[in-house]
Homo-oligomer: A and B are copies of this chain.
């Protein structure tokens, strides 16, 4: 893990992070990406996604508000990214909540090469064929521990699994990293999971491996969450402070502040 130097690399190289994401969080993930130091671009038209994805540093797919043409666009973009060697992160928002979401996430995993799946325990468990319960897009519980689940999902899905929760776990099947950074207020703002996926995309554009990218992103986002919680009076002020904190993240101290093991 070299979260600090990879953050510095993001700020220096300003990778373009192409995001096909849901309507609810587009502004939020664009602003989180920009505050961290990368360049977000949102483009979902079937006519342009291949062109945009092929020149990006990373592609972020998020199924939070699906419909037919968006699914087609995600598949086209992912295949174009694969051909161009651009890493792809998938956020399977609400997998397990409806058949459309579960099947779409599985289809993307089947038809394209995904570097990292970043989701909550219930979403990842659904895709890995493990027991879990979801209410809407919120994980209510999963049979496995986070570490077990991340490892099993990485093996089952053939990519890095990044399972976020009170403690996050990122695994490539062989190695599993636990990240304990963050703050409970992250759970009170809609779209913080989606933001962590966007930030995973930023780190994928510069990191050595998808495993490190996944863990470094959660360290950076978690540390920003810790900073944002200082003085926050609730979800509104925390949300605002989160962008300030991402912008002010210090590469020199980031690894010292990481609560990562494994």
Would B39 and A66 count as touching, CB distance under 8 A?
no
Q: A190-B34, A240-B237, A240-B240 are in contact. Are A22 and B42 (CB under 8 A)?
A: yes
User: For chain A residues 38-75, which have a beta carbon within 8 Å of chain B?
Assistant: 39-48, 51-52, 56, 64-69
Would A35 and B234 count as touching, CB distance under 8 A?
yes
Instruction: Tell me which residues across on chain B come within 8 A of A248, comparing CB atoms.
Output: 233-234
Q: How far is the CA of A25 from the CA of B16 in the complex (A)?
A: 19
A39 to chain B, nearest CB (A): 5
Closest to A20 in B: B65
What 1/0 flags go to A8-25 for Cβ under 8 Å of B?
000000101010001111
Closest to A30 in B: B190
* One of B16, B101, B236 near A241 (C-beta < 8 A): B236
Would A66 and B40 count as touching, CB distance under 8 A?
no
Q: How large is the interface on A (under 10, 10 to 19, 20 to 34, 35 or more residues)?
A: 35 or more
Would A51 and B247 count as touching, CB distance under 8 A?
no
Would A190 and B31 count as touching, CB distance under 8 A?
yes
Would A66 and B41 count as touching, CB distance under 8 A?
no
Copies of this protein in the assembly total: 3
Instruction: Tell me which residues across on chain B come within 8 A of A24, comparing CB atoms.
Output: 26-27, 30, 42
* One of B52, B101, B234 near A243 (C-beta < 8 A): B234
Q: How far is the CA of A94 from the CA of B43 in the complex (A)?
A: 10
Say if the beta carbon of A189 comes within 8 Å of chain B: yes
Would B94 and A66 count as touching, CB distance under 8 A?
no
A186 to chain B, nearest CB (A): 12
Say if the beta carbon of A138 comes within 8 Å of chain B: yes
A122 to chain B, nearest CB (A): 13
Closest to A18 in B: B136
Q: How far is the CA of A46 from the CA of B98 in the complex (A)?
A: 12
If A43-B98, A45-B100, A47-B100 are given as contacts, then 18 extra A-B residue pairs at C-beta distance below 8 Å, sorted by A number, are: A14-B135, A16-B135, A22-B42, A24-B26, A27-B27, A27-B28, A31-B189, A31-B190, A35-B234, A39-B137, A41-B94, A44-B65, A47-B68, A52-B136, A235-B244, A236-B241, A236-B245, A239-B240
CB-based closest 10 A-B pairs: A234-B244, A236-B243, A41-B136, A30-B190, A234-B247, A48-B98, A48-B100, A236-B240, A236-B244, A47-B100
